[in-house]
Amino acid sequence: MTSPQILLLPGWQNSDPDHWQSRWEAIYGDHRVEQHDWMRPLRGDWSARLEEEVIAAPGPVALVAHSLGCILVAAWAVHTRHAGKVRGALLVAPGDVERDDLRQMIPGWSPIVRQPLPFPARMIAANNDPYCVAERSREMARDWGASYIDAGARGHINSESGLGDWPEGRKLLTDLLKEH
């Protein structure tokens, strides 16, 4: 079976050079889905970019989403006709864009799509994420049909979390793709 192309889906404001997604891009050659506007994300624009990248991929893909990227995966999945190309999705630290402060900072992303994903998914979230309380991330995982892993006290699982190359996350992705 062909190995899937890894599509990295950063969240709002993109992933900085010390973020594990940027490190995976450098180490493994994963492909970052570049958005037209990282500061003022529009759900329709971001979804169209993801659609273009999935269509352009020569074979299967795996989605590796962080924060708003997780919300993007759920929104995209209900509209695409290309979900069959997705072997799996690793959803890391979803942002709760239904929360008042985030809904105002990132308008147009609420409500969060809560339909089951049409491909295997695994979510990993911290129990002290400042952008999404653990119970909300568990609800999203359940609604999306994703398995859930509690990362402990890792914050937003980003650069500030001090994960470096985050080999544990890579193993979660590898295991997900082996299982499905």
pLDDT in tens, the chain (180 residues): 679 999 999 999 999 999 999 999 999 999 999 999 999 999 999 999 999 999 999 999 999 999 999 999 999 999 999 999 999 999 999 999 999 999 999 999 999 999 999 999 999 999 999 999 999 999 999 999 999 999 999 999 999 999 999 999 999 999 999 987
User: Residue 44's pLDDT is what?
Assistant: 97
Host H or E run for residue 176: helix 167-179
3-state helix, strand, coil in the chain (%, to 5): 40, 15, 45
Angle between helices 20-28 and 167-179 (to 10 degrees): 70
Answer for the pair 12, 38: CB distance below 8 angstroms, yes or no: yes
Tokens representing residue 136 in the block:
């909300």
User: Residue 2's pLDDT is what?
Assistant: 76
User: Residue 180's pLDDT is what?
Assistant: 77
Within its chain, how far is the Cα of 82 from the centroid?
17
User: Residue 141's pLDDT is what?
Assistant: 98
